[in-house]
Chain A
Amino acid sequence: MTLSLGKDLLGLEPLSGEQIKLILDTAEPFKEISERTIKKVPTLRGATIVNLFFEASTRTRISFEFAEKRLSADTVNVASSGSSVAKGETLVDTARNLEAMRIDMVVIRHGASGAAQFLAERIESNVINAGDGTHEHPTQGLLDLLTLRDHFKRLEGVRVCIVGDVLHSRVARSCIWGLKRVGAEVAVCGPRSLLPSAIEELGGGVTVFRRVEEAIEWADALNVLRLQLERMTAGYIPSLREYNRVFGITRERLERAPRDVLILHPGPMNRGVEIDSDVADGPFSVILDQVTNGVAIRMAVLYMLSGGRPELAEAAKGGKREEGRGKRGGDDD
């Protein structure tokens, strides 16, 4: 059975646990590159990558760009605010134009769920979903998993509760799929108005905690989602203040937990809303580790989609992309 990811990375739902673990394993050797003085390897030399961002993004775009540059790819950033409809050119025309320029990969961030798949079905280049609407954000899910594995040294049986606006969160969906696939236990907690109506059935079973105190008592780790201000004006919750009082992750709440609870957050944080500063900056926060791991995960995904063999990732750092052309020298490293 092949563990190849195929042409694209559109989400974690279609992946198996083995494939996900392989990406995490492949990311391990790439972590070290970012610690070097000269943070560059020639792995993707000659490859052309377009970062197509239809939605504003700082962290994800920069993380992808660093991953690409540290692998020596040639990159172009296309940023476009607003929906493609407002922009005039349709996504299908954008896709055709990119294809005509003979690019190798596209990293796409788009406000519409399914936009990455739409693009992937229409071009031959590899497509990496950097977040599509409220659907998935697979590299974020993967970096969450890598960070959890770094800490717990395993993923099977680890109890992770995703707290907050699951309804509108692509991070939550990718995190849920990723955790379920590798055998972790998944729960969600948040105002019922911000949880999808069928959340209990998602991925074959997700626990729902009504109160955040129960979630904290149960969990080994909390993945705290950003609460968008718009949710208040759209009538999903009465106020940010009450949200913080009922669902906010505070030191007082965590101190009552029976064990140390690891704190993750996909960023950017609303300090004092979904998470208090002393938690975000506290001893159990791995929020910045997530950011660091994000670069390694994206390098691993870029490497694997470009045809690189995971078992040669360590060797690939020093040389060229291994494409089955007999270069096996680094196999024993």
Chain B
Amino acid sequence: MTSAVLLRGGRVIDPSQSLNGVADVLIVDGKIEALGERVANDAAGRHGLETIDCAGLVVSPGFVDVHCHLREPGREDVETIATGARAAAAGGFTAVCAMPNTDPVTDNQAAVGFIIRQASLANAARVYPIGAISLGQKGEALAEFGEMVGAGAVAVSDDGKPVASAHLMRTALEYARTFGIPVADHCEEPTLAAAGAMNEGLVSARLGLKGIPSEAEEIMAIRDILLARRTMGHVHLCHMSTRGSVELIRWGKDRGIGVTAEVCPHHLSLTEDAVEGYNTNAKMNPPLRTADDVVALQEAVRDGTIDLIATDHAPHHYDAKEREFADAPNGIIGLETALAVNITWLVATGVIDLPLLVERMSCAPARVFKLPGGTLRRGSPADVTVFDPESSWIVEPSRFKSKGRNTPYSGRTLTGRTRYTLVGGTMVHREPT
């Protein structure tokens, strides 16, 4: 039996085809069948056609998040692959990459296969596993990249922990070349960042919290860039947070080095001031930095120095954040606020336009991690997001699909909301109106 969906009259933004204008999108059997102005007429009368009125809405390739923590296996009380995949769908993401810092660590083909299986049962966003760089993320012996890729891993990372050993990073970059996958690094020089709880600066001096200097990130960023040059490998720098990192990435890209980079919505919108009052929902690693860093990161998103936006979605139990700041865990959730935060702080302020936002949230992540999606080309899987770029809403964490409630945006009014999310032509999220 064939199924067909017509997304009618929306503003289609697909940077992969340089499209930005009102058009209809016809989806048949899970694939993009046709796209254009006359599609509705051709589709009329098709048996079993579901028509969705997209007037005033943006129709784009589904968002792809290359960096999130779904906590399964190990902390199913905090998030599961299913709840994470549903949160992703609610946020307009049609595919997410799950970081391997689970318990046990996703460092072998069986663990990768488990994530693929759980994801297939979720009926929500696609979930692509990222395997560990080192066994147990201990920073010592390389994990079996080849077998993990065979089982479905799309990248390797020891995220959550820095790769302290330059030798390990070098061999990982070299070894990953065989499989054509990026090595995603959480840049943190461990001795400089040790016991740090927030950005090092005036606010940390006032609050009496141990600071993490920008250099803790930048030293590892340039180490990785230099190792990528040496190895001809592909290093992907996770959650960049400082102006200095931006300048180093620009230096590397100018020289044709294989470096790509991501930034999180919170680092594009908030500063260290959000920690004021010891707000544990503003505690993450890398920490929120200064207004000057935010400006530099926004500019880097605009000019492409930073390739893509990723959430670093990191759910924690309510109790874990309800404690002394220094003892609270790092991380905030992001899947269900990313679009709105990006529209509110980047698009509404004129830093970037909607097509560039779609590029940074969909096309670029798919391209950099070599994932399906990121396009509405005819014949490609119908991973589509329909969103309202004008709709304002108040963030109420209790309404999230994620099990996490740890967000610094609670109570804030944001602009931009997902309306429909389709994965392989199947509606996996429909915003109640």
Closest to A168 in B: B208
Q: Which of B210, B211, B278, B324 counts the most A-chain CB atoms under 10 A from its CB?
A: B324
Q: Which residue of A lies closest to B194 (CB)?
A: A234
In whole angstroms, how far apart are the Cα atoms of A115 and B322 in the complex?
Answer: 11
Asked if A201 CB lies within 8 Å of chain B CBs, one says yes
Asked whether, in the complex, the Cβ of A198 is within 8 Å of the Cβ of B208, the reply is no
Do the beta carbons of A202 and B206 come within 8 Å of each other? Answer: yes
Across the interface, B325 reaches (CB within 8 A) one of A114, A136, A173, A196, namely A114
Given contacts A90-B319, A197-B201, A197-B213, contact A114 B207 (CB under 8 A): yes
Contact of B324 with A114 in the complex, beta carbons under 8 Å: yes
CB distance A113 to B205 under 8 Å? Answer: no
- Indicate whether B19 reaches chain A with its CB closer than 8 angstroms: no
List residues of chain B with CB within 8 A of the CB of A194.
none
- Which residue of chain B has the shortest Cβ distance to A117 in the bound complex? B278
Set of chain B residues within 8 Å of A90, measured between Cβ atoms: 319, 322-323
B327 x A112 contact (CB < 8 A): yes
Q: How far is the CA of A124 from the CA of B205 in the complex (A)?
A: 29
Q: Provide the residues of chain B in CB contact with A91, threshold 8 Å.
A: 323-324
Complex Cα distance, B291 from A162, in Å, reads 31
A residues in contact with B209, CB < 8 Å: 113-114, 133-135
Complex Cα distance A83/B210, Å? 16
B205 CB contact (under 8 Å) in A83, A112, A117, A197: A197
| Given A113-B209, A113-B278, A118-B278; A84-B324 close (CB under 8 Å) | yes
A49 to B208, CA, bound (A): 27
Are A135 and B208 in contact (CB-based, < 8 A)? yes
The answer on a CB contact under 8 Å between A114 and B206 is no
B218 within 8 A of A: no
Inter-chain contacts of A135 with B (CB < 8 A): 207-209
| A90 and chain B: residue at smallest CB distance | B323
Q: Report yes or no: B206 in contact with A197, Cβ–Cβ below 8 A.
A: no
Q: Are B278 and A136 in contact (CB under 8 A)?
A: no
Contact with B326, one of A112, A198, A199, A202 (Cβ below 8 angstroms): A112
A133 pairs with B326, CB closer than 8 A: yes
Residue A25 lies at the interface, judged by CB distance under 8 Å to chain B: no
Q: Which residues of A contact B207 (CB under 8 A)?
A: 113-114, 135
Task: Flag whether B45 is at the interface (Cβ < 8 A).
Answer: no
What A residues does B189 contact at CB under 8 A?
none
Q: Is the CB–CB distance between A202 and B277 below 8 Å?
A: no
A321 CB, min distance to chain B CBs, angstroms: 31
Which residues of chain A are within 8 angstroms of B204 by Cβ–Cβ distance? 196, 198
Given contacts A113-B278, A117-B278, contact A136 B208 (CB under 8 A): yes
Q: Give Cα A90–Cα B327 distance, bound, in whole angstroms.
A: 11
Question: For the complex, what is the distance from the CA of A317 to the CA of B204, rounded to whole Å?
Answer: 41
**Given A90-B322, A113-B278, CB of A13 within 8 Å of CB of B327:** no
Pair B208/A132 contact, Cβ less than 8 Å: yes
Bound Cα distance A83, B322 (Å):
15
Chain A interface size range: 20 to 34
Q: What separation, in Å, do the CA atoms of A191 and B138 have in the docked complex?
A: 36
Cα distance A173–B207 when bound, in Å?
9
In the docked arrangement, what's the CA distance between A91 and B38, Å? 64
Q: Is B394 an interface residue (CB 8 A)?
A: no
- Contact A92/B323 with A114-B278, A132-B208, A133-B208 known, Cβ cut-off 8 Å: yes
B396, chain A: closest CB distance, angstroms: 21
Known: A113-B209, A136-B208, A170-B208. A197 touches B277 (CB 8 A): no
Minimum CB distance partner of A135 in chain B: B208
When the two chains form their complex, are residues A202 and B202 in contact, meaning their CB atoms are under 8 A apart?
yes
The answer for the CA separation of A188 and B159 in the assembled complex, in Å, is: 40
Verify B325–A113 contact, CB threshold 8 A. yes
Assess the B208–A134 pair: CB atoms within 8 A.
yes
Task: Give chain B residues whose Cβ lies under 8 Å from the Cβ of A196.
Answer: 204-205, 211
* A117–B202 CB distance below 8 A: no
> For residue B319, which residues in chain A have a CB less than 8 angstroms away from its CB?
90
Q: Is B200 an interface residue (CB 8 A)?
A: yes
Interface residues of B in 195-250 (CB under 8 A from A): 200-202, 204-211, 213
Minimum distance in angstroms from B414 CB to a CB of chain A: 25
A83, A135, A202, most chain B CB atoms within 10 A: A135
Please report the C-alpha to C-alpha distance between residue A152 and residue B93 in the assembled complex, in whole angstroms: 67
* Minimum distance in angstroms from A86 CB to a CB of chain B: 10
- Residue A110, interface by CB 8 Å: yes
- Could you tell me the distance between the alpha carbons of A92 and B210 in the complex, rounded to whole angstroms? 22
B324 pairs with A197, CB closer than 8 A: no
In the assembled complex, the CB of B207 is this many whole angstroms from the nearest CB of chain A, namely 6
CB of A1 within 8 Å of the partner chain: no
B68 CB to closest chain A CB (Å) equals 27
B428 CB to closest chain A CB, in angstroms? 37
Contact pattern, B 155-194, Cβ under 8 Å of A = 1, otherwise 0:
0000000000000000000000000000000000000000
* Chain B residues whose C-beta falls within 8 Å of the C-beta of A201 in the assembled complex: 202
**Is A100's CB within 8 Å of the partner chain B?**
no
Name the interface residues of B321-340: CB closer than 8 Å to any CB of A: 322-327
Set of chain A residues within 8 Å of B277, measured between Cβ atoms: 117
A83 pairs with B327, CB closer than 8 A: yes
Query: In the complex, which residues 196-240 of chain A have their Cβ closer than 8 Å to any Cβ of chain B?
Result: 196-199, 201-202
Q: Does A85 contact B (CB under 8 A)?
A: yes
Q: Name the A residues within 8 Å of B205 (CB-CB).
A: 196-199, 202
From A84, A112, A197, give the contact of B200 (CB < 8 A): A197
Determine the distance from Cα of A135 to Cα of B210 in the docked complex, in whole angstroms. Answer: 10
Expressed in whole angstroms, the Cα–Cα distance for A202 and B209 within the complex equals 14
Q: Which residue of B lies closest to A167 (CB)?
A: B205
Determine the distance from Cα of A91 to Cα of B324 in the docked complex, in whole angstroms. Answer: 8
On whether the beta carbons of B201 and A112 are closer than 8 Å, the reply is no
Instruction: Kindly provide the distance from the CB of B282 to the nearest chain A CB, expressed in whole angstroms.
Output: 12
Point out the residues of chain B lying under 8 angstroms from A173, CB to CB.
206, 208
Closest 6 CB pairs of A and B: A135-B208, A114-B278, A112-B324, A196-B205, A134-B208, A198-B202
Known A84-B327, A117-B278; 9 more pairs at CB < 8 Å: A84-B324, A92-B323, A113-B324, A114-B207, A118-B324, A133-B209, A135-B208, A198-B205, A201-B202
Report 27 cross-chain contacts, Cβ distance below 8 Å, ordered by A residue.
A13-B206, A84-B324, A84-B327, A85-B323, A92-B322, A112-B326, A112-B327, A113-B207, A113-B208, A114-B209, A114-B278, A114-B324, A114-B325, A115-B324, A117-B278, A133-B208, A133-B209, A134-B208, A134-B209, A173-B206, A173-B208, A196-B211, A197-B201, A198-B201, A198-B202, A198-B205, A201-B202
A residues near B, CB below 8 A?
13, 83-85, 90-92, 110, 112-115, 117-118, 132-136, 170, 173, 196-199, 201-202
